[in-house]
Structure 1
Amino acid sequence: MRFDHRPSLRLLPLLAALAPLTAQADSDATARPAAPPPAATSAAAPAELPTVRVYGISSITPGTTRITPDEIERQQALTVQQLLDNLPGVDLNGSWRPGGQSLNIWGFGDVEDVRVQLDGANKGFEKYRQGSIFIEPELIKRITVDKGAHSVRYGNGGFGGTILVESKDASDLLRPGERLGGLVKLGYASNDGQRISSGSVFTRAAPGSAVAWEFLAALTARDSGNQTRADGSEYEFSASHSRSGLLKLTLPLGESRLTLSHIEGRSKAWSPFAAKRDEVPAPTPAEIARYGEREAWLRKVLWRDQTDRTQALQWRYTPAGQPLLDVQLKLSQSLSQQDDSRPDSITSDFAASLGKESHASYRDRQFELSNTASFATAAVQHQLALDVQAQHHKRDTLMFLHTRTADASYNYGWLQPYYMPSGTQRTVSGWLEDRLQWGDFSLTPGLRYDHVSTAGKPNFAPRYNDPAAGHDYREVEHDGWSQHLSLAWRATPETTLFADAGRTWRAPVIDEVFEVQSAASSAPATSRSLRKERVTALRGGLKYERGNWLSAGDAFAATLTLFRNRVHDNIHKRFGVFVEPGTARPPNMPFYRNLPGYESQGVEVETHYDARRYFANASLAWMEGEHKGSIRDPWATKNQPLIDIGAPKAVLVVGGKWPSAGIAAGWQGKFVAAQTKVPDDEVVPYALPASKGYALHGLFAQWQGSGRLADTKLNLSVDNLFNRSVQPYLAEAVYAPGRNIKLTLTQRL
């Protein structure tokens, strides 16, 4: 049954004039040679090895992969998570329902373990059973993925890695000598009938102007019905209705550069409380007879109004002839918010799933100031970076239990969810890193310090704000040092060996410290005594790059990476065996505890080849891991497999280019093995069922016009070509969508 309710979404009034336009700000990739991506602008960025530019993906420093604009365009993905799912070691976690996806890198699947930044602003949404990233792919220029905890530039979490998302710029779209331009784009996807319309305008100052400013404005709309599984059944309440916009201004000011960006997305739809789930249970005949079919279905879900907003200021000062000065200032703020409400006919209170009505907002403000100094001592070249950072995270939650309006212990129905408390977390940090280059050797030591203060907001409901039950919302503090050491040796002009070692930590998040239960429960108290969660991370391998490999003008790159992570004192909810056997059980036991830890390791192989007529990418990832003991019983003598380890995965892309005709086309195969290394204890909390192996095939083609049609581009792709019915392991038994044919038309104005 379809509920194709399309709300009127008001977003960014300044972009209202763009409504007739539609856009994808993209790079020219087929008809004209693409320029290499610009160097990273982060402070003290490590000197990059020679970049091999390949259709869709470029290989930069070891352990780091960059997704280029033409790869974003080729995939035509609905979400950032789907876009990254083809990378080795990176897996989509959750369902295919909009708003129900997060990411898993190297077996780390919690939101706090995968750091995401959009134009330098931290992004993340930790609401229970919801997705974590809500960034419109049409507004993205490129994505850089650095796997593992191997940088002192980022602290307090991110054990799985860091994902840096960059929005589009006017300079990416304007042609030489052009002052004003525009793009319109129309797209259609067959599986859910999705219609995409987007548009952008971009302009810059006239030559000789006192300030050579650039400006970009873009707006994207997505509307669809429900997605369809391979067997033809509908994936109920998976329709998408969203509007997203981008405003970006760049101001070169003498020897400095100022960039201001505002990115906003808004969506409204009927959705199940847990977006990370498969089928919504159908109403019974009795429910249909009582409420009618439509109302009976809507009683199973809620109305969700979601807003995601990011604002960033980036200033960089690089005076000519002053190698000791490369100053960067970053200021940002971010908001992710969900407002949910259930139909009026609901009579149950749904206390365990945010009640009749709920509101959750996550706000982040961040300050960062850094400088990179380049100098030499004897035969050693240095890039010394120093940085200070401050971040303020605020989380506000509220729900309404309409059956408790006469109960004072529940504050007459209005309270913070006891399993999703409100609070703040403040972090003050500083780090330094020195890259020493001596001939073919480079050594990069780094040191970082973080101080984290976490404070809860006392619950409005006395039932969950009872000192006698151990409910204590006062501030707790964690601090400590992180260290990292990187070594690289260029053994030959084509081959580089690399090794990384690091130790870092994370403070418990607000939920982990201040989630409580009532006094009558077995573990009611806040978890103020939690220790830091720590990781020792190792990464190493070799990288081979060569131009003119098989023919003149071609390029080949291959990287072999081995990694190992050892986590200590991992934080988890208290289940099963509460205390060590033979030990007295203390009163007012906290709901969270530190477990002994776990280990994981794996190997990745990536290869990229590009020539005038052909291109190919191939990757393979395998990993394994296990807990010391288990989640239920940390004192058990038998270790349990890690739940979040993705199945072995190989991705192969092969294609051809016909420059004279403006055509590029190819095939993609994703081959995923069975995942059978799962906990054998059927009552392990959050355990996922074993999954079968599968293969998915897809086709893609792009045409760039010439002559009078030089400003016209068509993209065609087919996902799940043979309409296979599959259940990826980390999708929690959710069936993937069936065949999907996607077509987009882009017209430059």
Structure 2
Amino acid sequence: MSTQKSSSPKRFPKRKTLVLALSAVIPLVGFSAQIQAQESSEVEKQSDKYRAEPVVVVATRTAKTLNEAPSSVEVVTSETMDREGISTIAESLLDIPNVDVVSPESPVYSSISIRGSDRDQITYLIDGVRQDNYTMSGNRPAFIFVDPEMVKQVEVRRGGGSSLYGNGGIGGTLSVTTKTAQDLLKPGQSYGAKLKTGYNSASREWNRSAFVYGQHGIYDAVIGYSRRDGSKISLSNTGRRSATERDSQYDAVMAKLTVSPSQDNRFTFGYSYDKPQQWSGPANDRMFYELKQHRVTGSWDYRNGDWIDLKVNLQYSKMDNSYDNRTYNPEAYFSDEFESYSGNVQNTSIFELGGTHVLTYGFDVSQTKQHSKNASGLSDESRPDSEGLDAGVFIQDEYSLNDYLTITPVVRFSYYDRTPKSGQKDKYGLEGQTDSKVTPGVTFTVTPTDELSVYFSAQTGYRPPFLDELYTAMDYADYGMYSVVLPNSNVKPEESLNLELGVNGDFKNVFAQEDKLSFRASVFRDKIKNLIVAGLTGDMEVTPGGDMILYYSIDNVGSALKKGFELSADYLIGNFDFHASYGYLHAEDEDTGEKIAGITPQQAAFRAGYTYHPWDLNAWYRLRAYKGGKSSEETVYGSGEYKDYAGFATHSIGASWTPEIPGFADIAINFAVDNIGNKKYRYLNGGYGYSRTYRTWISATF
């Protein structure tokens, strides 16, 4: 059922006023408009795919174009990743305002923060299924493992809200969609292959990938393999290569089969395997980290009229992790086995009752198990065997009263259970924990014209403690200090309230014929209580040998208030494309009023590109700027005083040449230089930047 509105002549003056106001903030438009007439013939050569707005699901669980989504959402497409030579999912997010990344080059240690959140305060989705591999002790990265070569699109929804995707998501939601053969095939093609290789000097990394794919009748299949090999990192705080020996490898395999018996009935089966490894340190202090993940997925999409639009997703995931530093300490070893079973079902029904209702409802469930071993092959006493269960039911109604106003209430009932399983529960008095919560939310969307929408939303978040936060128990002696981590089975769930006011716009023919301006802006206020933090208990002892004993535990510590705004804009004219973004974030401890350290207060990005179609050549320039402030690094360990880092800006340039060899292959040759000025800097979150680096890569699509 279509709810498309027609333009109203009475609203045209409002649109014209808005366009005039926007003209004051769009740089370089005059210059671009002068060139527009000279290149009008080349404009037609730009593909509709390049100009079309991405379709997102993460905002409401229903498909919408990016500028229709009533939430603060940003998208990174596979085209962007290919153009910029992205090496990890985390690296692809660097231009999104109020998103911070640590170690973006590393598939093992990279992590993200949305609006100042911790990495475990984010809900991660792959092809619509939750990924619940959370940890706090460094044993298992709290992130998702998908090689960028396998990715069709990454959606980032900023702001809390657990009503749609369940327990978690205090800071936001990150959703990854993987590729099918249809995403890779050229028009009119039934079968194809893609080969790619490249080099990144930042970590002396070579990457190689190969895909074969095809469509035949009701079948769509793709198989891909990717391999990355890297070594020493070039850090920008010194401008030189790190003195620490370092090698890394990352192997990834993906296979995906889609069967479509009819246009409205589709089954998808997938398997992925990820194996990142990293070695670092000299021979007498060699650290080795390895992770192996197997992920088996299945989904069913079925549509029948307005009442049935059914989506079913199932996933089994198994992770095997190991850390080995026994060359330095015979006990410095662990292995970690983690399993999860996840599934969700949703249906969307459209009907008329005092307006148009798009009713989406369903349930989801996720069960997790973890088991750890020490250097002797016995159960690791620091992390006892345990199990977790998260489940919930939800219902959302996108109720359009008329062409101008939509009200979207949503409510979810969430349940969780945490259970220790090993003998350690008696030694430390570990207890199980079970609770439930109703998390409501509502969004009001006003659409004065087809090109403009304004929304206001109030959403609640709920993040129960994960297994490590409840049950980690550890004794560790080092350098005259004895650290004891005490488990705490009484940790309460974090809760949040997110208020957001936003505007989305998508205009064509603004300053010249065939140009396009799209923008997204939002003002937000996020309040989080019962923050779960690891820290000192305040107890202190001294052993007979003179070693200091410090006690640590996980506990709920106060609340945080985060407020700010985000702005992103894209402008296309002729063969020029521009992107600009800006984020402002103020985060404070609500009890003390003090600013929270390690959070970037302001960041901005600007990108300009030009495509010369007769030569199939694209060139681009990018600026990233960060405001300085109080970092996450203490002046003296345990002092509570933090170092100040200066603000910085980096400049990058790149070019791509995409010639076609008729009847044989499409070729893409790319080259980029990052941090041209070799700027020395560090991020406030403690992450290191990189000195001047070079990237080059080439691909052939047959």
1:556: Cα distance to partner?
0.4
Report what 2:309 is aligned to: 326
Distance across 2 between alignment mates of 1:86 and 1:183: 27
Report what 2:679 is aligned to: 724
One-letter amino acid matched to 1:70:
E
Structure 1, unaligned stretches of length 5 or more?
Answer: 1-28, 53-58, 272-279, 281-296, 350-354, 402-412, 580-588, 630-637
One-letter amino acid matched to 1:742:
R
One-letter amino acid matched to 2:361:
L
Distance across 2 between alignment mates of 1:518 and 1:183: 51
1:715: Cα distance to partner?
1.6
Distance 1:622 1:46, change over 3 A: same
Report what 1:48 is aligned to: 64
* Partners of 1:30 and 1:704 within 8 A in 2: no
Greater strand content: 2
Report what 1:201 is aligned to: 212
One-letter amino acid matched to 1:400:
A
Distance across 2 between alignment mates of 1:213 and 1:41: 24
Distance 1:529 1:590, change over 3 A: farther
Report what 1:312 is aligned to: 297
Aligned-partner SS, 2:630: coil
RMSD between superposed Cα atoms in Å: 2.9
Report what 1:602 is aligned to: 564
Q: How does 1:330-341 map to 2 (within 5 A)?
A: 330-341=313-324
Report what 1:303 is aligned to: 288
Q: How does 1:29-178 map to 2 (within 5 A)?
A: 32-34=47-49, 36=52, 39-40=55-56, 45-46=61-62, 48=64, 60-94=69-103, 96-111=105-120, 113-123=121-131, 124-126=133-135, 128-129=137-138, 131=141, 132-150=143-161, 152-178=163-189
Deviations 1:132-178 (A, max 9, x none): 33321111111011111146211211111111101111001123332
Report what 2:15 is aligned to: none
* 1:386 partnered with 2:361: yes
| TM-score between both structures, scaled by the size of structure 2 | 0.84
One-letter amino acid matched to 2:221:
F
Choose which of 409, 419, 422 in structure 2 pairs with 1:455.
Answer: 419
* 1:669 partnered with 2:677: no
Aligned-partner SS, 1:394: strand
Distance across 2 between alignment mates of 1:300 and 1:85: 33
Report what 1:236 is aligned to: 244
Report what 1:215 is aligned to: 221
Distance across 2 between alignment mates of 1:422 and 1:94: 30
* Partners of 2:162 and 2:461 within 8 A in 1: no
One-letter amino acid matched to 1:162:
T
* 1:623 partnered with 2:585: yes
One-letter amino acid matched to 2:688:
Y
Distance 1:421 1:558, change over 3 A: same
Distance 1:260 1:30, change over 3 A: farther
Distance 1:422 1:235, change over 3 A: farther
Distance 1:239 1:360, change over 3 A: same
Structure 2, unaligned stretches of length 5 or more?
Answer: 1-43, 541-550
Distance across 1 between alignment mates of 2:667 and 2:476: 66
Report what 1:56 is aligned to: none
Aligned-partner SS, 1:427: strand
Report what 1:19 is aligned to: none
Distance across 2 between alignment mates of 1:340 and 1:193: 23
1:118: Cα distance to partner?
1.4
Aligned-partner SS, 1:239: strand
Report what 1:225 is aligned to: 231
Aligned-partner SS, 1:400: coil
Distance across 2 between alignment mates of 1:651 and 1:69: 19
1:740: Cα distance to partner?
1.6
Distance across 1 between alignment mates of 2:641 and 2:318: 31
1:648: Cα distance to partner?
1.2
Distance across 1 between alignment mates of 2:660 and 2:563: 50
Aligned-partner SS, 1:152: coil
Q: What is the identity percentage for the equivalent residue pairs of Structure 1 and Structure 2?
A: 19
Aligned-partner SS, 1:73: helix
1:547: Cα distance to partner?
0.8
Aligned-partner SS, 2:202: coil
Distance across 1 between alignment mates of 2:227 and 2:179: 17
One-letter amino acid matched to 2:420:
G
One-letter amino acid matched to 1:234:
S
Q: How does 1:689-708 map to 2 (within 5 A)?
A: 689-706=643-660, 708=662
* 1:437 partnered with 2:400: yes
* Partners of 1:31 and 1:662 within 8 A in 2: no
* Partners of 1:43 and 1:328 within 8 A in 2: no
Distance across 2 between alignment mates of 1:617 and 1:441: 30
Choose which of 411, 436, 453 in structure 2 pairs with 1:496.
Answer: 453
Distance across 1 between alignment mates of 2:269 and 2:504: 36
Deviations 1:359-391 (A, max 9, x none): 01332211111111000113x100111111111
1:46: Cα distance to partner?
4.4
Report what 1:398 is aligned to: 373
Distance across 2 between alignment mates of 1:228 and 1:511: 33
